[in-house]
Structures are given as structure tokens and as C-alpha cells.
Amino acid sequence: MRIMGLDYGSKTVGVAISDELMITAQPVMTITRKSENKLRKTLAKIEELIEEYEVSFVVLGYPKNMNNSEGERAEATKEFKEHLERRTGLEVYLQDERMTTAQSERILMEAGVRRENRKEYLDKMAAAIILQSYLDSQPAD
């Protein structure tokens, strides 16, 4: 059993997967689409990854504003959550993702990834941070 972490953006979705013990999150890939509303292929790819990794449920980054209010991106994320649940039949949990992009950027800088190459890794790294945050918040058995 594994958990999938997603960082949903207007044109990309970062994907991360937990290990089988659900202790650590690893970045897997970034799914790119031409426009925000073109979700069919994105959902199909996520469905394929769910099957490949035997995912039991999904953790989706929830972009709240720093003052804890919900903006346009949060509404778009809730819609995406509904699409995911309908398409996959899996439970989708919303995880606060404030500061994950900044944290991802810092990790990539510290790892020596050149500025022009960071975008390639940013979304999947953010997905891994979102998922790791969820995993760390779960009580140990």
C-alpha cells in the first residue's frame, strides 16, 4: 500500500509516491498540460500511476493564503479533488501546502541544481514535501 502526493498547478501536477511502509515520500514526475482546463490526459496519467504503484489514497496540496483564507487556487484545487475522486474512486485528502514551493526551491538550491534547471524539479519536489508533511503528521503504529 502506498500514498500518492500531488501538487496541482495551473499547467502542471507534481507527483510523489510514498514507500510501502509509508515513512518517506519520493518525487516521481511532473505532468504538464497545455491549459488549465485540459484535465483528461492529466487524470488518465494519474490513474495509470495509481495502478502502477498500487496507491490506496491521494494527498493533494491545498493552497491556502498565508492568512488562512481560501483564494482562486484553493477553489480550483477543490474542483480537481472532485474530478480525481470521481475518476479514481479513491479518497483524496487535502493537505495544507503553504510554503512548499519556497521549501522546494531552497532544497534544490542547496543540492546545487542550477537556477535554469530548477523548474524541471520544483513541482515534483513540492509534491514530495506535501506528502512527507502528511506522512509525518500521522501517528506511529
Delimit the domains of the chain by residue range: 2-137
Q: Which amino acid is residue 34, in one-letter code?
A: K
By the 8 A CB rule, do 73 and 63 touch? Answer: yes
pLDDT in tens, the chain (141 residues): 899 999 998 889 999 999 999 999 999 999 998 876 778 899 999 999 999 999 999 999 998 877 877 888 889 999 999 999 999 999 999 998 877 777 777 877 888 878 777 777 888 989 999 999 999 988 876
How many residues in the chain?
Answer: 141
| Measured distance CA(111)–CA(33) in Å, rounded | 27
Q: 94: part of which helix (H) or strand (E)? A: strand 92-96
Q: Which residues pair with 95 in a beta bridge?
A: 61
Cell of 108: 534544490
* Architecture of the structural domain at 2-137: 2-Layer Sandwich (3.30)
| Measured distance CA(113)–CA(20) in Å, rounded | 28
**pTM value?**
0.88
